[in-house]
Amino acid sequence: MNEVEVLVIGSGAAGLSCALRLAKAGRRVTVVSKTSLQSGSTLWAQGGISAVLDVEDSTDNHVRDTLVAGAGLCDEDAVRFTVEGGPACIEWLLQQGVMFTEEDGENRGKRLHLTREGGHSHRRVVHAADATGHAVETTLAALAAAHPNIRVREYSLAIDLIVDREAKRVLGAYLFDVPSSRITAVPAKAVVLASGGANQVYLYSSNPHGASGDGIAMAWRAGCRVANMEFMQFHPTTLFHRDTRNFLISEALRGEGALLRLVNADGSPGERFMPRFDPRGELAPRDIVARAIDHEMKRLGLRYVYLDITHKPAEFIQQHFPSIYAHCKSLGLDICRQPIPVVPSAHFTCGGVVTDLSARTDLDGLYAIGEVACTGLHGANRLASNSLLECLVFARAAAEDLHATLDGRVMPADPRPWDESRVTNSDEDVVVSHNWLELRTFMWDYVGIVRTTKRLQRALHRVQLLKAEIDEFYGNYRISANLLELRNLVRCADLIVRSALERKESRGLHYTLDYPETLDTATPTILPGRA
């Protein structure tokens, strides 16, 4: 395979499904993965994919639930476009060989089992037990690795996009090969950003280490608008345990009846508290549940609360949640007999690079799909299991638009090689590790679930100091993977804090004590790129 028609940065559900659709249409694609091909946040996704497949459900119901969860900020056209594309994308995954959980009994082999999660009015979440992301990711990765039109570059990080600023066109990207530390300029007719979110900007995150906002930062530096970065979703229930920091306890447990309880002084499960915060109880949207847990932990000085599903039969728990059961059991916790200690953690970036319904950004030839993008679907708060749905629907939209336009695009000339003539090896890598910890700590303390203007201003001051220090380090020393991720994280932190300061209200995931009311008119927060 010679020249690259499409460079796909990211190897999760969004990137791989887009690459496979293009490759099957005869296009030449290179997929860039930060670690192994089977990596990224998709692999960790437990709950499932929302889609209207039940005769008692409807597109209008799913649209309405999404709009309610999004707290008035969703783009209804984007919501309807995404929801309407759900069933076809589930069928496409089935055709690729993804094995979803089926109904028991006489309907086995005829209907997929649908579960219900917070914010959904109907059962509409397709799943593969409690490891849906693993089933989707491993299937798509195997297909991509075997396809002759797809070249995979593992253990490679994108440094920056190559841009013709006068023509406002993307020409490719500079890639850093981690094992060799070599930097290559890769030209392409088009680039697809599928690099995920920026949740590692926080001290506690359910995401893998690589969720460092690379695509968001690169697109902003290239001149693209970024929107709604203040809306960082905190998953209410991550396992609290000294030996594991980011194991997610799926919302599907609450969908199947698990209850949130306080912790008594003797460590036993206490009062159920969610009905005091919302009539939907444990099935309220994630922002409400996360704030309720945060409130109770601060009010009572708790390090965690309990998620209790022990009232369900052990056979039911082990059948529906085998991965969660096995992981907790390996840590000495039997969730059939004991409540699960949980805490909120950063989980999903609702904002991102502004796109249209074909996943096109402000730069000609640059597309953004999945968590890196702001399509208008999520608004101020993502509805559970709409994330993988968005990945699949917009990957299809991008692939269709690319296939229709690639023949009219000229392959760019070889770009200017990366210049390392004026940099040296660093003997102060400790600066990177210290700055990484400092950034994530003050973002957690000052820009977390509950905010104030004073905290945000403190965070902005620290971000600006760190940004200057990191930029100086980046300009003088040879780069490393950790430095690249830190550079992108501090840029995303800056975008998050500046967006939060601009919003003079509380809406969805952005809750500030200084502006607790919600304004009558919902408007997105849009920050222009650096062009």
The secondary structure of residue 173, as a DSSP letter, is: E
Q: Which residues contact 155 (CB under 8 A, 6 or more apart)?
A: 33, 34, 35, 36, 177, 178, 179
Q: Indicate the SS3 state at residue 389.
A: helix
Give the separation between CA 30 and CA 152, rounded to whole angstroms: 6
Q: Which of 125, 222, 113, 111 lies closest to 164, judged by CA?
A: 222
Please report how many Cα atoms fall inside a 13 Å half-sphere around the Cα of residue 135, on the Cβ side. Answer: 22
Give the separation between CA 415 and CA 39, rounded to whole angstroms: 29
Q: Which of 206, 248, 239 lies closest to 305, judged by CA?
A: 239
Q: Which residues contact 493 (CB under 8 A, 6 or more apart)?
A: 201, 439, 443, 447, 459, 463
Asked if 17 and 172 touch (Cβ cutoff 8 Å), the reply is no
Phi, psi (deg, nearest 5) at residue 269: -65, 135
Torsion angle in degrees (nearest 10) through CA of 373, 374, 375, 380 = 140
Give the separation between CA 442 and CA 455, rounded to whole angstroms: 9
Phi-psi bin for 189: left (phi > 0), alpha (psi -120 to 50), beta?
Answer: alpha
Asked if 376 and 200 touch (Cβ cutoff 8 Å), the reply is no
Phi-psi bin for 507: left (phi > 0), alpha (psi -120 to 50), beta?
Answer: beta
**Residue 87: which H helix or E strand, with range?**
helix 76-96
Which amino acid appears at position 248 of this protein?
L
Catalytic residue among 80, 124, 153, 286: 286
Q: At what angle do helices 214-222 and 481-502 cross, to 10 degrees?
A: 70
Q: Which of 213, 141, 172 lies closest to 372, judged by CA?
A: 213
- The full length of the chain comes to 531
Q: Indicate the SS3 state at residue 271.
A: strand
Can 153 be counted among the known catalytic residues?
no
Catalytic residues: 286
